[in-house]
Chains A and B, each alone.
Chain A
Amino acid sequence: MSTQYEDQTLDKGIKKEEITKNYFPNVGLNRILPFLTFLVSAINVVVGVLSIVSLSFEAYPVPLLGILALLSALLFLDIYRQKDKWDFRLLILAVVSVAALLSLNSLPILWTGFQFNVFIDHSVFSAIFLLITGTPAMMVSLYYLLGATPSAEDVSIYPLILLPVVLILTVYLSLLVQMWIKGGANLDLEWITKPYLDFQWAVKSFIAGDWPTWTTVQTKQAGLLNYLQGTGLLMLLTSLISLPIGVGAGVFLNEYGDNRFGRTARFLISSLRAISLFVLGLTAFSIVFYTNNTPLARIFHGFWIDGYGIVQISSGGSYITASMVLSLLVIPIITSATEQGCHSLPQELREGSLALGASEDTTFWWIILPWSLPNIVTSVILGCAEAAGSVAVLLFIADRGQFGQVGLFKQVTSLAYYIFNVYYADPAFKQFMGGLQFTAGILLLMITFVLGILAMLSKKWLIHRYRGG
């Protein structure tokens, strides 16, 4: 066989040396340069990422860029020696590296210009240049390191894909860890089991015969209990209001919605998600504004009974107002989930139910609803999480809840609103309650994480239970 092969190739005029070179490439030596380039470019990327957050890597970018330029130029020549073709990506890389090096040298420590409202630190530029040159260099050198095959091209894409993924996950993780460091210290039962109270209670004790002492715990007390209770009540009310409406609307749109009314309704309900939360906040404000000085004020504004036993109408909105508007936010989620659930019901089940003599109602209650139950439960839980975290809807009607009262017709407040309110509050409130900001944030995060995991697990379990896996 071998002699025959040699004869054929010799016929075509190819030299014998070339055949041996192609069949036995000098693997070790040929891959030293790509390996070195890969190593240096990886160091470039690491230093570039570290330069984003740190100021102490300013000595390295210039030599690193120089070495990278040199190596990529050498690799450019070496590829020509090996493959007999010019890979101009490497030449461009070398030129860009030299340009980056020169511009880094000429940039001042703080850059200002073009009337931009900023001083950009030198390290920001070095980070940008290192990442711009390092990532493509990593890709190209990995390509040649793995033998320049099509599958090597696939593997060489990994740096480009992995870098943003690792970066963003690190950012999320570091932010959550920072939050835990800042707010975890206050996370004990003492703050969670006490409501926030203001001086109103001192007046009450004065009426009862005690002398009000303004600085005692009774007059002013820090705690998050009423905010927690308020968040829970908002979640409960919102899900109670939005569950029947959302499910009913979803079933109607899927079963009977194939006409002009159905299409209009679908568009309007989905546009509830598209319009801003700010619009819903203004709607909540309008409800409160229009019911001002009317008999409905007790319901929509909320009220409390003061120390003299007189009913006082509060100035903002009540929990019922807030949860009505919040349910406008949650209804589209439940509607679309129910619609998807009903849509995925196999036609055979529906027809089988009707063929066995079941009425339309029976089919609805025993076939359609159980089938779409996983979607409904998941969307309700996610809607609860959304209601717990929403500030924009409560922005114009909520208050601090300084009387520590939580109920259907009390003034609305929640953990999320408390966090927002501390930022813009007067210095006294900030000094008094500001320390609990991150603790409230952690509580809110816990609520949303638990609800999110619960939604996933319940969907899995309910699909297993009602759809047979």
Chain B
Amino acid sequence: MVKNKHRTSRIERFTKILCLIPVISTVLVLVNIILNSIPVIKIYGLGVLFSTVFSNNLSAVMIMGQYGLLPSLWGSVILALTTILFAFPISLALAIFASEFSIKGIGRYIEVVMAIFSGIPPIVYSLLSIFIMQMFITPKLTGAGFPLDYLTSLPGIPPGNKLGPAETSTVLGAFVLALLVIPFMTPLILDAIKNVPFGLKEGSYGLGANRWYTLTHITIPAAASGILTALSIGILKTIGDVVISAWTIGYGKNGMPNPLFDIFEPISPLTSTGASLMNGLTGGARSVLDVGQRSAAFFAALLLMVFAFAILGVVSIARHYFNRRFSQ
């Protein structure tokens, strides 16, 4: 709009006030998290928070002050890695199929289906996780159908350290989160592929390259920054999810997993650990009385926020590199 420097219009003043509301509330949200996470640092110190010993009131024995969040931080990292390992190739294949390799306009239907699927709430996916449990996890990974004597006599792992038929694991959470994340990543990758300038592809075809060569050597490098954005959205959605991780992985991990990348063990991420610290899983937050425990949950949220902003920073640097590398 044509701007008058000496006079602000009515619309400008009005919309500025409306714009201030979410800005101020964002600042308040951040300040609230930071202020509330100070008490636990004051009471227990940072060393306790980064230890590997954790106990909450869902543990067998609740010991106050053992809020080591290092296992949960590692759980968030490993959950994000596993989910992206499942979700990224599939959404890349979906996007490539819908844009470059679609047969007679099926790609349009995939766009529509993904747009509708992206509205499915996480709680429905966690409800559906029981079917994945029944179809894959229980028959394939728990040794169901074999007597317990036989299972405990197997060499390799000590008895009592084995995935029972009713227990959960990080793999299940990663499967379900991948189902959640794929409809969000696919349209973004599709947009990135579609926004590659047609002249680049045309030049490649003109020089005699086939579609596959053009895709791998021209289109995907040129769309790399958009694909990275999709990747970051996927990671942020994965580490920020509460419901699926609480439902499929569990409450809080005491001690690091024994092989560090043991994805078959339930390694709860920061979100579900924080939710269990707030008693959110069982009876609502009304019964939280201990200041330290409540504050530990806020500290988990703070760690999560720092983690998210770190990922955003890394991705923006990488996008800058790719933009400089692949654009004239």
Contacts and interface: CB of A to CB of B under 8 A. Distances in A.
A382 interface: yes
B298 to A, nearest CB: 6
B240 interface: yes
Nearest to A163: B93
B14 interface: yes
A411 to B, nearest CB: 10
Contacts of A388: 121
Contacts of B243: 391-392, 420
Contacts of A53: 135-136
B163 A392 contact: no
A157 B212 contact: yes
Given A117-B265, A118-B169, A392-B242, A285 B285 contact: yes
A117 B126 CA distance: 22
B240 to A, nearest CB: 3
Interface residues of B, number: 106
A119 B29 CA distance: 45
Interface string A159-199: 01111110111011011001100000000000000000000
Interface residues of A, number: 108
A115 B308 contact: no
B123 A391 contact: yes
A110 interface: yes
A449 B278 CA distance: 32
A274 B236 contact: yes
Contacts, number: 312
Determine which residue in A277, A350, A438 has the highest number of CB atoms from chain B within 10 A of its CB, and name it.
Answer: A277
A168 B305 contact: no
Interface string A390-406: 11100111110000000
Contacts of B328: none
Contacts of B36: 282, 286
B11 A445 contact: no
Given A112-B157, A335-B22, A445-B124, A456 B298 contact: no
Contacts of B298: 282
Determine which residue in B23, B169, B300 has the highest number of CB atoms from chain A within 10 A of its CB, and name it.
Answer: B23
Contact of A391 (B122, B139, B179): B122
B116 A453 contact: yes
B262 A115 contact: yes
A52 interface: yes
B128 A179 contact: yes
Nearest to A331: B22
B19 interface: yes
Contacts of B270: 278
A255 B305 contact: no
B327 interface: no
A396 B274 CA distance: 11
A315 interface: yes
A276 B240 contact: yes
B286 interface: yes
B285 A175 contact: no
A364 to B, nearest CB: 5
Given A158-B101, A244-B18, 15 more contacts: A115-B262, A116-B259, A151-B210, A157-B211, A179-B127, A249-B19, A256-B3, A272-B22, A275-B29, A275-B240, A276-B240, A277-B241, A281-B280, A282-B36, A285-B285
18 contacts: A113-B156, A115-B161, A153-B212, A162-B97, A171-B179, A172-B117, A246-B22, A251-B15, A252-B18, A274-B308, A274-B309, A282-B33, A282-B274, A315-B286, A361-B10, A364-B11, A444-B123, A444-B124
